Amino acid sequence: MTYVARRSTGAAGQPLFLTFHGTGGTEDQFHGFARQLMPTAHVTSPRGDVSEHGALRYFARMAEGQYDMDDLAKRSTAMANFIAVERERSEPSRVIGLGYSNGANILASVALQAPDLVDDLILMHPLIPWNPAPQPGLAGRRILITAGQADPICPAPLTQALADYLQAQGADVDLHWHPGGHEIVESEVEAIQNFITT
């Protein structure tokens, strides 16, 4: 599957920074942010190819928090293949993925399926409403989760359950909470900046 994507070429041997937008966003939502965070990195931002009443997403759902699991599996495989091609193209020193909401969910789903593709994951307000199978390939992966304690879309207990699962797989997990909801706040941005530079 071919995605429409925005690409910025970085310096040779630099990281590849992948960004994934939220529902209703586009490939431009976090592309510039990634460029600011890592000016010399290669940045690739694919556009979701599923339309939900005109809002772009990466996979279909039946309702809020109720995913079409068959579609998610199919599109996670397609995204994994896309990432593999991007890795070959840029030959990076490491691969960083950043996703928000639906973008965090497709990034997490790819990591559960093919954990060797992305080295460092930034999951902003993810929602994984099922119990993933064990994935030992996640051991050693650096993962930052940012979330709102009062998020009505991504309930705090499910965020904590995801963090606990990832830690149980041996991942190096940092969980950053803010007191609000589904919005992105300044403390999240600071947490991401710190994650990138350490």
For residue 94, report the phi and psi dihedrals to the nearest 5 degrees: -160, 170
Does residue 51 carry a catalytic annotation? no
172 is a catalytic site residue: no
CA angle 123, 128, 132 (to 5 degrees): 110
Cα 140 to Cα 127: distance, rounded to the nearest angstrom = 22
Neighbours of 45 (CB within 10 A): 28
Residue 101 a catalytic site member: yes
Distance of alpha carbon 119 from alpha carbon 74, whole angstroms: 22
Largest separation between any pair of C-alpha atoms in the chain = 43
From the candidates 49, 71, 176, 182, which is the catalytic residue? 182
Q: Exactly one of 45, 76, 90, 101 is catalytic; which is it? A: 101
Contact between 76 and 107 under an 8 Å Cβ cutoff? The reply is no
Active-site residue set: 101, 151, 182
